[in-house]
Amino acid sequence: MNGPEPFGARLRRAMDTRGPLCVGIDPHASLLRDWGLDDDVAGLERFARTTVEALADRVAVLKPQSAFFERFGSRGVAVLERTVAEAREAGALVLMDAKRGDIGSTMAAYAATFLDQGSPLFSDALTVSPYLGYGSLAPAVETARANGAGLFVLALTSNPEGREVQHAVREDDGAGTTVAATVLRHLAAENAGAEPLGSFGAVVGATLGDLSAFPLNVNGPLLAPGIGAQGATPADLPAVFGGAVRNVVPSVSRGVLKHGPDIIGLRDSATRFADEVRKAAA
């Protein structure tokens, strides 16, 4: 094989061996307090390192939320760099939840920051926003392909405000196609012919109910937030995702993190979620 192994292939293997689960690393102030930590850089680092120690050798994906590190400035970003490196060294795939979206050279710079293997923040995948037009993501797509990385593109998000954009019907195609369906079709084109799984996925909320009207079979992963604290359960996944359920990567944050800082509690919770998802998708 020429070049690095594609993200989709690495993700499929991780999901099959470790279970289909993504755990967020979301060190917001209230969760730091719940862990008995101060809302400062020291608390941030303790939180992130404990989560990595507990989970990086056993879950498929860890998803640091960049904003919760960036709020501490350069020292917080330094913690994020270490978190990414240590999680990857322990065997987890790292999905950087930064939801970047821009055009031209700015999008290329975001891509270089998170998707170029030479960057200290290199991650296995990145969340991105397509709402400047899907074509604006071209620099990120190109950088991801060259570096064996992936993208998760916002398509059908779980926040109620998303409907006004994502369910809007395009007037330019004459077929009544929604914006979200357009995004999904672009992703299917990116993943055409990829085996065992494409590297370009979508973010699709697990709380949205029946999505059979949307083309979810994009031959790529579907990151599904909403499991746990937001109300969805692993048992809901087949009804939401239908035939695409095997490619769903449920994302859980508070549902697991609330058990910290106890390492055993974090591990048991993540294992339970992964087992429930595996059973639901069987």
3-class DSSP state for residue 63? strand
Are the CB atoms for 180 and 210 separated by under 8 Å?
no
Confirm if 242 and 33 have CB atoms less than 8 A apart.
no
Contacts of 14 (CB under 8 A, 6+ apart): 60, 61, 92, 93
Per-residue b or e along 256-274, where b marks 16 or more CB atoms closer than 10 Å to that residue's CB? bbebbbeeeebbebbbebb
Question: Which residues carry out catalysis?
Answer: 99
CB distance 241 to 216 below 8 Å = yes
**Exposure on the CB side of residue 212, measured as CA atoms within 13 A:** 5
Alpha-carbon separation of residue 65 from 16, 175, 243, 277 (angstroms): 25, 37, 29, 22
Q: Are the C-beta atoms of 270 and 23 separated by less than 8 Å?
A: yes
Q: Is 104 exposed, middle or buried (0-12, 13-18, 19+ CB in 10 A)?
A: exposed
| Distance between CA atoms of residues 79 and 57, nearest Å | 19
